[in-house]
Amino acid sequence: MALRLSLRELEVFVAVTEQGTVTAAAEQVALTQSAASQALAALEAGLAAPLFDRVGRRLVLNEHGRLLLPRARAMLDAAQDMQRLFDSQAAMHVRLAASTTIANYLLPEQIARFQLQQPQARVELLVANTADVVEAVAGFKVDMGFIEGPCHHPDIVVEPWQDDILVVFAAASHPLAQGAVSLSRLAQAQWVLRESGSGTREEVERLLLPHVGGFAQVMEMGHSEAIKRAVAAGLGVSCLSLHVVRELLDSGQVVAVLAPLPTLHRTLYRIHHKDKSQTRGMLAFNRM
């Protein structure tokens, strides 16, 4: 079957989805506006389907474009890997996405080890909540992701990466920090938790709700740093990774709440798209 599309056409298509206009896309891929327009038109003609809706001067992906986009990104990634296949001197380029706890407390050390071993390598890190990390991996916007909650996307390969422990904690001066606390009293406390969609929030609910039944009062914050500082200031009680609160626990600003709970274990995961080829950079990074 003769091919009716080219890598150059796919490159222009992806650039247009990222930039929103043919003019900006042409600049990104180093083509004239006319050549980029012709490439996009040739792609749509070859596929016999429009890929964008024209909204004023902007091009907005339609259902055909949304179907093509992840496959186009995967093909361009594979083509770049092929170009580097026999060039052992080519600099590695690894695109990562990680949920906030992992990005702030666990990945920096691994990235540092990787950069020391591969000083010419380029690492990009997108920090987002678990749902957005999964979306970035599913759309081939990044090579792989690291998440704190479960992933059920049919196109994503999920692998256990590290174990983690969650800690229920309060300010040292808080009433719940003065001795043993019942589960019912814990449930009635003012809780400060991550937002919905956060892997930490999902895991906190999975691990705690079977014991406390529910949270009477919840204040949501979008970042673990804000939560731990708010709790240290006496705002309420929370549950975060030991990695996040270790410094405050060691300094005595917060303490672990003494409640009849089991150790709160969870698994952190590494994910990649099932159609994503394992590049040299990905393999080298995962060996760190």
User: Against a cut of 0.85, is the pTM above it?
Assistant: no
State how far Cα 233 lies from the chain centre: 29
Mean pLDDT (whole number) for 119-137: 91
Q: Which residue's entry shows tokens 């991996």? A: 137
Tens digit of each residue's pLDDT (9 = 90 or more) over 198-236: 778 888 899 999 999 989 899 999 888 999 999 999 999
Report in angstroms the alpha-carbon separations of 189 from 89, 118, 174: 58, 49, 11
Residue 88: its H or E element? none
CA distance 55 to 6: 26
* pLDDT higher than threshold 80 for residue 87: no
* pLDDT higher than threshold 60 for residue 89: no
Percent of the chain with pLDDT over 70: 97
CA distance 98 to 174: 33
Which residues does 178 contact at the CB level (< 8 Å), separation at least 6?
none
Percent of the chain with pLDDT over 90: 50
Check residue 56 and give its pLDDT.
78
Pair of tokens at residue 25: 């896309």
Tens digit of each residue's pLDDT (9 = 90 or more) over 153-187: 999 999 999 999 999 999 999 999 999 999 999 99
